[in-house]
Each structure stands twice: as C-alpha cells, then as structure tokens.
Amino acid sequence: MRDLSNLIHPVVAIAPAAPTTDNTVLTSAIIDKAGYESLAFLILIGVLAAGAATFAVTVEHGDAADLSDAAPVAAANLTGTLALASFDQTADGKARKIGYTGAKRYVRLKITPTGNNAAAPIAALALLGDGRFIPTPNPPG
C-alpha cells in the first residue's frame, strides 16, 4: 500500500505563532515517544526579515517527563546533522529536518537565533512513526 498517514503521528512541537523578533531560544514541547520507535522533527521556516540572522538547531533527550535530566543528543543518535538542520536568513520558505534514533523516551528541539532583530516566523512538527498500534489515531489529538 502507499499509505503514509496511518503510519505516522504528528505532534505540534513549536506552534505557529507571532514571529520571534529577538534572540530568544525557541524550545519545543516535550515529545513523548511512548508507543513509537522513530521520531523526526520537521522545521517550517517563513520569510525571515533579519539580514544576518542564524538559527542553530539542537536536540535534547532524557528519561524524566519534564526533561529535568535533559542532555544534548549525541550525533550518533541523530539522522542528519545539526548543521544541516540549522539555517540562516537565506532559508525563506524552506523546511529542515533532523531525526532522533536514541533510546530515551522524552525528546525536545531547540532553535537558538543569533543576530535576529526582525520577524522570524518558525514552527516545528514532531513526526512519530513505527507505532506499536496501526492505524495511528486520526485526528492525531
């Protein structure tokens, strides 16, 4: 079959909101991988107004539901690289992705702007896959 929608479970990680206009770190919701074996973050980039801004992407994981034990994810537990997921002001209207292959249950994404002094509309989606129960819920909830 060519069905993808019943095999994935999307979760809003960074909700679409008023664009950030400074260097405040964008921190995603904590994603609970319970019931799923794979996770990828999809970053959606709007029109970036700052002339020399950069946006560094990092991923953290842990065993505590509140991620009080958060630690940076090692490169060996990522598919793709943090460098390829990061972007600058030339990425208008683009998307980036970074996958997580580690064994921790809780994961979050962080996007750290530098030199951002204008509108930067950014959102992110966590895409869970390889669920224990198929089809996945619809609507996702």
- pLDDT tens for 19-65 read 989 999 999 999 999 999 999 999 999 999 878 899 999 999 999 99
Q: Say if pTM beats, i.e. exceeds, 0.85.
A: yes
- pLDDT tens for 74-129 read 999 999 999 999 999 999 999 999 999 999 999 999 999 999 999 999 999 999 99
Please compute Rg for the chain using Cα positions: 15
